[in-house]
Protein backbone atom coordinates (compact mmCIF):
# COMPACT_ATOMS: atom_id res chain seq x y z
CA UNK A 1 0.00 0.00 0.00
CA UNK A 2 1.74 3.23 -1.16
CA UNK A 3 2.42 5.90 1.42
CA UNK A 4 4.26 9.19 1.14
CA UNK A 5 7.90 8.55 1.92
CA UNK A 6 9.45 11.95 1.17
CA UNK A 7 8.56 15.54 0.40
CA UNK A 8 11.44 17.58 -1.05
CA UNK A 9 11.49 21.23 -2.06
CA UNK A 10 14.07 22.63 -4.48
CA UNK A 11 14.59 26.39 -4.71
CA UNK A 12 15.72 27.39 -8.21
CA UNK A 13 16.67 30.90 -9.27
CA UNK A 14 18.11 32.89 -12.12
CA UNK A 15 21.48 34.42 -11.14
CA UNK A 16 19.88 37.86 -11.14
CA UNK A 17 16.28 38.73 -10.23
CA UNK A 18 14.93 41.82 -11.99
CA UNK A 19 12.28 44.14 -10.58
CA UNK A 20 9.77 43.36 -13.37
CA UNK A 21 6.41 41.55 -13.48
CA UNK A 22 7.96 38.29 -14.67
CA UNK A 23 7.17 35.30 -12.47
CA UNK A 24 9.54 32.97 -14.30
CA UNK A 25 12.70 34.22 -12.61
CA UNK A 26 12.69 31.69 -9.81
CA UNK A 27 10.81 28.49 -9.03
CA UNK A 28 10.03 26.08 -6.24
CA UNK A 29 10.05 22.53 -7.51
CA UNK A 30 8.32 19.88 -5.38
CA UNK A 31 9.26 16.20 -5.41
CA UNK A 32 7.17 13.62 -3.59
CA UNK A 33 7.94 9.93 -3.50
CA UNK A 34 5.74 6.96 -2.63
CA UNK A 35 7.34 3.56 -3.05
CA UNK A 36 9.10 3.51 -6.38
CA UNK A 37 7.11 6.36 -7.96
CA UNK A 38 7.89 10.07 -7.94
CA UNK A 39 5.54 12.97 -8.50
CA UNK A 40 6.52 16.53 -9.37
CA UNK A 41 4.83 19.82 -8.68
CA UNK A 42 5.59 23.50 -8.52
CA UNK A 43 4.57 26.22 -6.06
CA UNK A 44 3.93 29.65 -7.55
CA UNK A 45 5.15 31.80 -4.67
CA UNK A 46 8.33 33.10 -3.07
CA UNK A 47 10.37 29.88 -2.73
CA UNK A 48 12.10 30.58 0.58
CA UNK A 49 8.89 31.60 2.34
CA UNK A 50 7.21 28.40 1.14
CA UNK A 51 10.16 26.31 2.33
CA UNK A 52 9.82 27.99 5.72
CA UNK A 53 6.14 27.07 5.90
CA UNK A 54 6.99 23.47 5.06
CA UNK A 55 9.31 23.06 8.02
CA UNK A 56 8.67 25.87 10.54
CA UNK A 57 8.22 24.94 14.21
CA UNK A 58 4.62 24.61 15.36
CA UNK A 59 3.19 27.85 16.79
CA UNK A 60 -0.06 26.31 18.02
CA UNK A 61 -2.51 23.58 17.05
CA UNK A 62 -3.70 25.37 13.88
CA UNK A 63 -0.26 26.58 12.88
CA UNK A 64 1.80 23.51 12.15
CA UNK A 65 4.47 22.96 9.50
CA UNK A 66 2.87 21.72 6.28
CA UNK A 67 5.08 18.64 5.98
CA UNK A 68 3.60 17.19 9.14
CA UNK A 69 0.23 16.71 7.41
CA UNK A 70 1.73 15.06 4.33
CA UNK A 71 4.55 12.73 5.25
CA UNK A 72 3.68 9.05 5.87
CA UNK A 73 0.10 9.53 4.66
CA UNK A 74 -1.37 6.77 2.45
CA UNK A 75 -1.79 7.42 -1.27
CA UNK A 76 -4.08 4.85 -2.81
CA UNK A 77 -6.65 7.02 -4.47
CA UNK A 78 -8.19 10.43 -5.00
CA UNK A 79 -9.82 10.41 -1.57
CA UNK A 80 -6.34 10.27 0.01
CA UNK A 81 -5.31 13.45 -1.83
CA UNK A 82 -8.49 15.16 -0.66
CA UNK A 83 -7.82 14.03 2.87
CA UNK A 84 -4.25 15.42 2.83
CA UNK A 85 -5.57 18.66 1.31
CA UNK A 86 -8.12 19.00 4.12
CA UNK A 87 -5.61 18.12 6.82
CA UNK A 88 -3.06 20.69 5.63
CA UNK A 89 -5.73 23.39 5.70
CA UNK A 90 -6.86 22.36 9.18
CA UNK A 91 -3.42 21.97 10.69
CA UNK A 92 -1.93 25.05 9.02
CA UNK A 93 -4.99 27.29 9.14
CA UNK A 94 -3.06 30.26 10.56
CA UNK A 95 0.07 29.71 8.52
CA UNK A 96 -0.61 32.13 5.69
CA UNK A 97 1.83 30.67 3.19
CA UNK A 98 0.31 27.21 3.59
CA UNK A 99 -2.05 27.49 0.59
CA UNK A 100 0.89 28.19 -1.71
CA UNK A 101 2.91 25.37 -0.23
CA UNK A 102 -0.05 23.02 -0.41
CA UNK A 103 -0.48 23.93 -4.09
CA UNK A 104 2.86 22.47 -5.19
CA UNK A 105 2.38 19.44 -2.95
CA UNK A 106 -1.13 18.79 -4.26
CA UNK A 107 0.07 19.03 -7.87
CA UNK A 108 2.87 16.54 -7.14
CA UNK A 109 0.36 14.19 -5.46
CA UNK A 110 -1.89 14.15 -8.55
CA UNK A 111 1.15 13.56 -10.76
CA UNK A 112 2.21 10.73 -8.50
CA UNK A 113 -1.25 9.17 -8.33
CA UNK A 114 -1.53 9.37 -12.12
CA UNK A 115 1.72 7.43 -12.42
CA UNK A 116 0.61 4.87 -9.84
CA UNK A 117 -2.65 4.33 -11.75
CA UNK A 118 -1.23 4.71 -15.27
CA UNK A 119 -3.62 7.59 -16.09
CA UNK A 120 -3.17 11.20 -17.18
CA UNK A 121 -4.22 13.59 -14.43
CA UNK A 122 -7.17 15.07 -16.35
CA UNK A 123 -8.77 11.63 -16.41
CA UNK A 124 -8.30 11.18 -12.66
CA UNK A 125 -10.00 14.57 -12.31
CA UNK A 126 -13.06 13.11 -14.07
CA UNK A 127 -12.71 14.19 -17.69
CA UNK A 128 -12.99 11.42 -20.32
CA UNK A 129 -10.83 13.44 -22.75
CA UNK A 130 -8.75 16.61 -22.94
CA UNK A 131 -9.74 19.22 -25.51
CA UNK A 132 -7.09 21.21 -27.37
CA UNK A 133 -6.55 24.74 -26.07
CA UNK A 134 -5.77 27.82 -28.11
CA UNK A 135 -2.67 29.37 -26.54
CA UNK A 136 -2.54 33.11 -26.14
CA UNK A 137 0.97 34.48 -26.15
CA UNK A 138 1.34 36.16 -22.79
CA UNK A 139 3.84 39.02 -22.68
CA UNK A 140 4.65 42.24 -20.86
CA UNK A 141 3.91 45.56 -22.54
CA UNK A 142 6.97 47.12 -24.15
CA UNK A 143 8.51 50.15 -22.45
CA UNK A 144 7.36 52.18 -25.47
CA UNK A 145 4.44 51.80 -27.87
CA UNK A 146 6.96 51.00 -30.65
CA UNK A 147 8.30 48.11 -28.59
CA UNK A 148 4.77 46.85 -27.94
CA UNK A 149 3.99 47.07 -31.65
CA UNK A 150 7.11 45.05 -32.50
CA UNK A 151 6.28 42.40 -29.90
CA UNK A 152 2.76 42.11 -31.30
CA UNK A 153 4.11 41.75 -34.84
CA UNK A 154 6.47 38.99 -33.76
CA UNK A 155 3.68 37.13 -31.93
CA UNK A 156 1.44 37.32 -34.99
CA UNK A 157 4.25 36.21 -37.30
CA UNK A 158 5.01 33.28 -34.98
CA UNK A 159 1.49 32.00 -35.71
CA UNK A 160 -0.32 32.84 -32.47
CA UNK A 161 -3.96 33.79 -32.93
CA UNK A 162 -4.31 35.43 -29.53
CA UNK A 163 -2.09 37.55 -27.31
CA UNK A 164 -2.13 39.27 -23.95
CA UNK A 165 -0.19 42.37 -23.03
CA UNK A 166 0.18 43.37 -19.43
CA UNK A 167 2.10 45.09 -16.67
CA UNK A 168 5.11 47.20 -17.69
CA UNK A 169 4.14 50.87 -18.10
CA UNK A 170 0.41 50.17 -18.51
CA UNK A 171 -1.72 52.17 -16.07
CA UNK A 172 1.28 54.05 -14.69
CA UNK A 173 1.03 57.03 -17.04
CA UNK A 174 -1.82 58.97 -18.61
CA UNK A 175 -4.97 57.63 -20.25
CA UNK A 176 -3.45 58.78 -23.53
CA UNK A 177 -0.26 56.75 -22.90
CA UNK A 178 -2.35 53.64 -22.32
CA UNK A 179 -4.43 54.37 -25.40
CA UNK A 180 -1.26 54.44 -27.52
CA UNK A 181 -0.05 51.18 -25.99
CA UNK A 182 -3.31 49.29 -26.58
CA UNK A 183 -3.58 50.63 -30.14
CA UNK A 184 0.02 49.59 -30.84
CA UNK A 185 -0.74 46.08 -29.60
CA UNK A 186 -3.85 45.85 -31.79
CA UNK A 187 -2.10 47.24 -34.84
CA UNK A 188 0.87 44.89 -34.49
CA UNK A 189 -1.31 41.87 -33.88
CA UNK A 190 -3.75 42.41 -36.74
CA UNK A 191 -7.50 42.93 -36.55
CA UNK A 192 -8.62 39.31 -36.46
CA UNK A 193 -6.55 38.16 -33.51
CA UNK A 194 -7.84 37.92 -29.95
CA UNK A 195 -6.35 40.75 -27.87
CA UNK A 196 -6.36 40.67 -24.07
CA UNK A 197 -5.11 43.35 -21.68
CA UNK A 198 -3.77 42.73 -18.17
CA UNK A 199 -3.63 45.75 -15.85
CA UNK A 200 -1.84 43.77 -13.13
CA UNK A 201 -3.94 45.35 -10.30
CA UNK A 202 -2.43 48.75 -11.08
CA UNK A 203 -5.53 50.75 -10.11
CA UNK A 204 -5.96 49.16 -6.69
CA UNK A 205 -9.69 49.80 -6.30
CA UNK A 206 -9.89 53.08 -8.26
CA UNK A 207 -12.94 52.55 -10.48
CA UNK A 208 -12.58 55.90 -12.26
CA UNK A 209 -8.98 55.19 -13.35
CA UNK A 210 -10.07 51.86 -14.79
CA UNK A 211 -13.25 53.11 -16.47
CA UNK A 212 -11.25 55.88 -18.17
CA UNK A 213 -9.54 53.14 -20.21
CA UNK A 214 -12.67 51.25 -21.25
CA UNK A 215 -13.26 53.29 -24.40
CA UNK A 216 -9.95 52.43 -26.03
CA UNK A 217 -10.37 48.78 -25.05
CA UNK A 218 -13.71 48.78 -26.86
CA UNK A 219 -12.33 50.56 -29.89
CA UNK A 220 -9.56 47.96 -30.13
CA UNK A 221 -11.97 45.03 -29.61
CA UNK A 222 -10.20 43.81 -26.50
CA UNK A 223 -11.84 40.61 -25.26
CA UNK A 224 -11.02 41.06 -21.58
CA UNK A 225 -9.53 43.51 -19.15
CA UNK A 226 -7.64 41.51 -16.56
CA UNK A 227 -7.04 42.45 -12.94
CA UNK A 228 -7.90 46.14 -13.04
CA UNK A 229 -8.05 45.85 -9.22
CA UNK A 230 -6.66 43.80 -6.38
CA UNK A 231 -7.97 40.28 -6.13
CA UNK A 232 -10.97 40.45 -3.82
CA UNK A 233 -11.80 44.15 -4.42
CA UNK A 234 -15.26 42.82 -5.18
CA UNK A 235 -17.31 46.01 -5.17
CA UNK A 236 -14.83 47.68 -7.54
CA UNK A 237 -15.03 44.69 -9.89
CA UNK A 238 -18.81 44.67 -9.68
CA UNK A 239 -19.05 48.39 -10.43
CA UNK A 240 -16.63 48.25 -13.35
CA UNK A 241 -18.36 45.16 -14.76
CA UNK A 242 -21.53 47.26 -15.08
CA UNK A 243 -19.63 49.91 -17.07
CA UNK A 244 -17.37 47.82 -19.26
CA UNK A 245 -20.05 46.72 -21.78
CA UNK A 246 -18.63 44.18 -24.20
CA UNK A 247 -15.15 44.19 -22.62
CA UNK A 248 -15.44 41.51 -19.97
CA UNK A 249 -13.46 41.50 -16.75
CA UNK A 250 -11.00 38.74 -15.98
CA UNK A 251 -9.40 37.98 -12.64
CA UNK A 252 -8.79 35.44 -9.94
CA UNK A 253 -5.12 34.55 -10.31
CA UNK A 254 -4.52 35.92 -6.82
CA UNK A 255 -7.04 33.51 -5.27
CA UNK A 256 -5.52 31.37 -2.54
CA UNK A 257 -8.49 29.07 -2.16
CA UNK A 258 -11.61 28.10 -4.09
CA UNK A 259 -13.85 30.38 -2.04
CA UNK A 260 -11.99 33.52 -3.09
CA UNK A 261 -12.41 32.48 -6.72
CA UNK A 262 -16.10 31.78 -6.22
CA UNK A 263 -16.52 35.26 -4.73
CA UNK A 264 -14.85 36.81 -7.78
CA UNK A 265 -17.50 35.03 -9.85
CA UNK A 266 -20.52 35.69 -7.64
CA UNK A 267 -19.79 39.18 -6.33
CA UNK A 268 -17.13 40.56 -8.71
CA UNK A 269 -18.97 39.47 -11.87
CA UNK A 270 -15.84 38.49 -13.77
CA UNK A 271 -16.56 36.88 -17.14
CA UNK A 272 -13.31 34.92 -17.04
CA UNK A 273 -11.96 33.28 -13.92
CA UNK A 274 -8.21 32.80 -14.05
CA UNK A 275 -6.72 30.19 -11.79
CA UNK A 276 -3.13 29.31 -11.04
CA UNK A 277 -2.95 25.73 -9.82
CA UNK A 278 0.31 26.65 -8.09
CA UNK A 279 -1.42 29.19 -5.86
CA UNK A 280 -5.02 28.21 -5.23
CA UNK A 281 -4.34 24.96 -3.41
CA UNK A 282 -3.34 22.76 -6.33
CA UNK A 283 -5.50 20.76 -8.69
CA UNK A 284 -7.94 19.76 -5.97
CA UNK A 285 -9.00 23.38 -5.45
CA UNK A 286 -8.64 24.37 -9.11
CA UNK A 287 -10.99 21.60 -10.27
CA UNK A 288 -13.61 22.78 -7.77
CA UNK A 289 -13.39 26.27 -9.27
CA UNK A 290 -13.66 24.85 -12.80
CA UNK A 291 -16.82 22.94 -11.82
CA UNK A 292 -18.28 26.03 -10.15
CA UNK A 293 -17.45 28.34 -13.06
CA UNK A 294 -18.97 25.88 -15.52
CA UNK A 295 -22.18 25.81 -13.49
CA UNK A 296 -22.29 29.61 -13.39
CA UNK A 297 -21.54 30.12 -17.10
CA UNK A 298 -18.20 31.81 -16.41
CA UNK A 299 -15.21 30.90 -18.57
CA UNK A 300 -12.28 29.22 -16.84
CA UNK A 301 -8.75 30.08 -17.96
CA UNK A 302 -5.42 28.99 -16.54
CA UNK A 303 -2.95 31.48 -15.13
CA UNK A 304 0.61 30.43 -15.89
CA UNK A 305 3.72 32.52 -16.17
CA UNK A 306 6.29 29.85 -15.32
CA UNK A 307 7.46 26.42 -16.47
CA UNK A 308 5.74 23.87 -18.68
CA UNK A 309 5.32 21.65 -15.62
CA UNK A 310 3.19 24.44 -14.14
CA UNK A 311 1.52 24.89 -17.53
CA UNK A 312 0.43 21.26 -17.68
CA UNK A 313 -0.76 21.46 -14.07
CA UNK A 314 -2.77 24.60 -14.78
CA UNK A 315 -4.54 23.18 -17.84
CA UNK A 316 -5.59 19.84 -16.28
CA UNK A 317 -8.45 21.28 -14.17
CA UNK A 318 -10.37 22.51 -17.24
CA UNK A 319 -8.98 20.11 -19.84
CA UNK A 320 -12.39 18.57 -20.42
CA UNK A 321 -14.32 21.85 -20.81
CA UNK A 322 -14.57 22.22 -24.57
CA UNK A 323 -15.94 25.73 -24.77
CA UNK A 324 -13.26 27.13 -22.41
CA UNK A 325 -10.69 26.95 -25.16
CA UNK A 326 -8.26 29.77 -24.35
CA UNK A 327 -5.05 29.04 -22.52
CA UNK A 328 -2.40 31.37 -21.14
CA UNK A 329 0.92 30.52 -22.73
CA UNK A 330 4.03 32.35 -21.55
CA UNK A 331 6.38 33.14 -24.42
CA UNK A 332 9.02 35.22 -22.69
CA UNK A 333 10.16 32.65 -20.15
CA UNK A 334 13.50 33.03 -18.44
CA UNK A 335 15.89 30.16 -19.33
CA UNK A 336 15.36 28.59 -15.90
CA UNK A 337 11.61 28.16 -16.46
CA UNK A 338 12.01 26.75 -19.97
CA UNK A 339 14.91 24.47 -19.06
CA UNK A 340 13.09 23.16 -15.99
CA UNK A 341 11.40 20.41 -18.02
CA UNK A 342 12.47 17.92 -20.67
CA UNK A 343 9.11 18.11 -22.49
CA UNK A 344 7.28 21.23 -23.62
CA UNK A 345 3.72 21.89 -24.71
CA UNK A 346 4.37 23.22 -28.19
CA UNK A 347 1.48 24.38 -30.42
CA UNK A 348 0.58 21.80 -33.08
CA UNK A 349 0.25 22.56 -36.80
CA UNK A 350 -3.28 23.84 -36.15
CA UNK A 351 -2.02 26.32 -33.54
CA UNK A 352 -3.55 24.45 -30.58
CA UNK A 353 -1.74 22.82 -27.68
CA UNK A 354 -2.66 19.43 -26.31
CA UNK A 355 -1.98 17.89 -22.91
CA UNK A 356 0.31 14.85 -22.84
CA UNK A 357 -1.46 11.48 -22.73
CA UNK A 358 1.26 10.02 -20.50
CA UNK A 359 0.47 9.07 -16.89
CA UNK A 360 0.50 11.99 -14.46
CA UNK A 361 1.18 15.47 -15.77
CA UNK A 362 3.37 14.10 -18.56
CA UNK A 363 6.15 16.58 -17.88
CA UNK A 364 9.52 15.51 -16.47
CA UNK A 365 11.94 17.90 -14.79
CA UNK A 366 15.37 18.07 -16.42
CA UNK A 367 17.47 17.33 -13.37
CA UNK A 368 20.79 17.90 -15.15
CA UNK A 369 19.59 21.08 -16.80
CA UNK A 370 18.35 22.76 -13.62
CA UNK A 371 21.30 21.91 -11.40
CA UNK A 372 22.95 25.22 -12.19
CA UNK A 373 19.90 27.13 -10.91
CA UNK A 374 19.69 25.30 -7.57
CA UNK A 375 19.90 27.62 -4.56
CA UNK A 376 21.70 26.20 -1.56
CA UNK A 377 19.54 26.69 1.54
CA UNK A 378 20.22 25.64 5.10
CA UNK A 379 17.74 26.48 7.88
CA UNK A 380 18.93 26.11 11.47
CA UNK A 381 16.84 26.92 14.53
CA UNK A 382 18.62 26.78 17.86
CA UNK A 383 21.27 24.67 16.22
CA UNK A 384 18.73 22.13 14.91
CA UNK A 385 18.63 21.70 11.15
CA UNK A 386 15.05 22.06 9.89
CA UNK A 387 15.86 22.09 6.18
CA UNK A 388 18.79 21.60 3.89
CA UNK A 389 18.57 21.62 0.08
CA UNK A 390 18.00 17.94 -0.78
CA UNK A 391 20.06 16.03 -3.32
CA UNK A 392 18.47 16.61 -6.71
CA UNK A 393 19.69 13.37 -8.24
Residue 92 vs 248, nearer CB to Mg ion: 248
By CB under 5 A, tell whether 198 contacts Mg ion: yes
| Candidate segments 145-153, 179-187, 190-198, 339-347, binder of Mg ion by CB under 5 A | 190-198
- What is the nearest approach in angstroms of Mg ion to the Cβ of residue 253? 5
Residue 51 vs 182, nearer CB to Mg ion: 182
| Candidate segments 191-199, 211-219, 364-372, 380-388, binder of Mg ion by CB under 5 A | 191-199
Q: Shortest CA distance to 314 belongs to which of 353, 342, 369, 268?
A: 353
| Candidate segments 68-76, 198-206, 286-294, 333-341, binder of Mg ion by CB under 5 A | 198-206
DSSP code of residue 192? T
- What is the nearest approach in angstroms of Mg ion to the Cβ of residue 209? 17
CA distance 242 to 246: 10
Residue 69 vs 302, nearer CB to Mg ion: 302
Residue 184 vs 202, nearer CB to Mg ion: 202
- What is the nearest approach in angstroms of Mg ion to the Cβ of residue 295? 24
- What is the nearest approach in angstroms of Mg ion to the Cβ of residue 138? 8
Q: Is 163 within 8 Å of 139 (Cβ atoms)?
A: yes
- What is the nearest approach in angstroms of Mg ion to the Cβ of residue 251? 8
Residue 32 vs 140, nearer CB to Mg ion: 140
Q: Are strands 6-13 and 326-330 parallel, antiparallel or unpaired?
A: unpaired
Question: E strand or H helix at 177, and its extent?
Answer: helix 175-189
Residue 42 vs 198, nearer CB to Mg ion: 198
Residue 123 vs 213, nearer CB to Mg ion: 213
Residue 74 falls in which region: left (phi positive, over 0), alpha (psi -120 to 50) or beta: beta
CA distance 327 to 188: 21
Three-state SS at 345:
coil
DSSP string for residues in 233-246: -HHHHHHHHHH-TT
| Candidate segments 117-125, 134-142, 197-205, 264-272, binder of Mg ion by CB under 5 A | 197-205
- What is the nearest approach in angstroms of Mg ion to the Cβ of residue 303? 6
> Which residue is closest to Mg ion by CB?
198
- What is the nearest approach in angstroms of Mg ion to the Cβ of residue 111? 25
- What is the nearest approach in angstroms of Mg ion to the Cβ of residue 305? 8
Residue 106 vs 198, nearer CB to Mg ion: 198
Query: Please, which residues have CB within 8 angstroms of residue 106's CB and are 6 or more apart in sequence?
Result: 41, 81, 84, 85, 281, 282, 283, 284, 285
CA distance 157 to 310: 26
String marking each residue 78-97 x if it binds Mg ion according to CB under 5 A: --------------------
- What is the nearest approach in angstroms of Mg ion to the Cβ of residue 69? 30
Kindly give the interhelix angle for 258-266 and 234-243, rounded to the nearest 10 degrees. Answer: 40
Q: Is 216 within 8 Å of 176 (Cβ atoms)?
A: no
Three-state SS at 3:
strand
- What is the nearest approach in angstroms of Mg ion to the Cβ of residue 226? 5
Interacting residues with Mg ion between 117 and 146 (CB under 5 A): none
| Candidate segments 113-121, 196-204, 341-349, 365-373, binder of Mg ion by CB under 5 A | 196-204
Q: Is 35 within 8 Å of 49 (Cβ atoms)?
A: no
Q: Shortest CA distance to 264 belongs to which of 281, 283, 248?
A: 248
**# residues contacting Mg ion (CB under 5 A):** 1
| Candidate segments 128-136, 192-200, 213-221, 333-341, binder of Mg ion by CB under 5 A | 192-200
Residue 101 vs 201, nearer CB to Mg ion: 201
Residue 108 vs 333, nearer CB to Mg ion: 333
| Candidate segments 152-160, 195-203, 210-218, 319-327, binder of Mg ion by CB under 5 A | 195-203
Q: Is 185 within 8 Å of 161 (Cβ atoms)?
A: no
DSSP string for residues in 95-132: -TTHHHHHHHHHHHHHHHHHHHHT-BHHHHTT-SS---
- What is the nearest approach in angstroms of Mg ion to the Cβ of residue 284? 22
DSSP bridge pairs for 38: 33
Q: Is 314 within 8 Å of 286 (Cβ atoms)?
A: yes
Residues that bind Mg ion (CB under 5 A): 198
Amino acid sequence: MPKIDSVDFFYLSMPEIQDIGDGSQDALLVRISAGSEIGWGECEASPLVSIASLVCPMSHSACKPVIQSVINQPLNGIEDIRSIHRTVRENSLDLLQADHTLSGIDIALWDLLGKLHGEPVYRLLGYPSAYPKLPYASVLFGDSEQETYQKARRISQAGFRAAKFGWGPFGRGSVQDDRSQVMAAREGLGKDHILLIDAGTIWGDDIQAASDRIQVLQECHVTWLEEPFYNGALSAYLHLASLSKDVQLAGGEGSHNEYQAQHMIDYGHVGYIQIDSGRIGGLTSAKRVADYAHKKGVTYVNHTFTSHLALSASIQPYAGLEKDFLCEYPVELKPLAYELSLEHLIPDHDGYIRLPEKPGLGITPDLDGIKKYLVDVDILVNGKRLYQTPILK
